[in-house]
Amino acid sequence: MADKKKSVNPKQLSTLVSLLDGYAALSVSDPNRIRKIAKSYSEDDPEIKSVWREISKDVDDISTLPSSSDDIVKQSRRLGILRPFMLFLPLVVLTIYYALLGAHVITHLGQFGAYAFLGIFIGAYILSFLVYFSMNKKLSRTVNSYYDQHMGEIARQRRHIKTVNQRLIDRLAMIVRSEDRDPNKYKFSLFHDDYANINVVSEDKNSIYTVTVKGKSLRKESQQT
């Protein structure tokens, strides 16, 4: 007996559209997240499979562009070293604290000494967090600047992603209409408002649009007029 095909989740598909539009606008997210969503439905939906086959290399070209910068690679390595330290530092601090408490070292310091000792560890963690936050912010600025300087190298990929993304929007609209779903339940964000088959709900101060696809609510309104 053949396996039943997986139905496409409109919410996930709208997320995929948003992420791809981000690539077209050079607001780059984790490519693995895009890859995971695309591949989860590509075998069950020929259109999504075709789209992903067309643009997977474009996504890779854009996401890997910063790796050609030695400065960005060095900053990324530093963050890679600091990240696990940040994750395990609280556990290390508590382990040391309770080990010293069990060895009665903390007791000999008195209450004030115990609080001071713990405060030093907490202060060290806060300081490392601030360093990590600052380094991460600096890396983001460097990456964005690098994209601005080299956007000509990926102009074709950006245009292609945006063009192909229109097909996913059309696919999403078709699913919403054919399954008689309310498009307002599947709002998503875009950097561009010039796609066909969408309705702009709002625009924020950063010119990011909240949109829906044209669906059943529009048909019902047109039938009532």
Where does a domain end: 151, 181, 209? 151
Where does a domain end: 129, 151, 173? 151
Q: How far apart are CA 106 and CA 118, in angstroms?
A: 10
pLDDT given at position 122: 77
Residues 159 and 61 in one domain: yes
Residues 145 and 88 in one domain: yes
The amino acid at residue 53 is R
Lookup: tokens for 196:
């066909």
Residues 45 and 99 in one domain: no
Residue at token pair 């806060």: 126
What's the rounded mean pLDDT across residues 5-12? 77
Residue 173 lies in a domain: yes
Does residue 216 contact residue 181 with C-beta atoms inside 8 Å? yes
pLDDT given at position 121: 75
pLDDT tens for 83-95 read: 777 777 777 777 7
Q: How far apart are CA 143 and CA 68, in angstroms?
A: 11
Q: How far apart are CA 144 and CA 47, in angstroms?
A: 32
pLDDT given at position 224: 44
Does residue 183 contact residue 215 with C-beta atoms inside 8 Å? yes
Where does a domain end: 151, 178, 194? 151
- Measuring CA to CA, which residue among 164, 168, 143 is closest to residue 27? 143
Residue 112 lies in a domain: yes
Residues 171 and 146 in one domain: no
Confidence of residue 119 (pLDDT cuts 50, 70, 90): confident
pLDDT tens for 12-48 read: 999 999 999 999 999 998 999 998 888 887 667 788 8
Domain that holds residue 176: 10-66+155-224
Residues 209 and 180 in one domain: yes
Q: What is the tally of structural domains in the chain? A: 2
- Measuring CA to CA, which residue among 93, 96, 100, 101 is closest to residue 129? 93
pLDDT given at position 124: 76
What's the rounded mean pLDDT across residues 127-137? 87
Residue 72 lies in a domain: no
Residue 73 lies in a domain: no
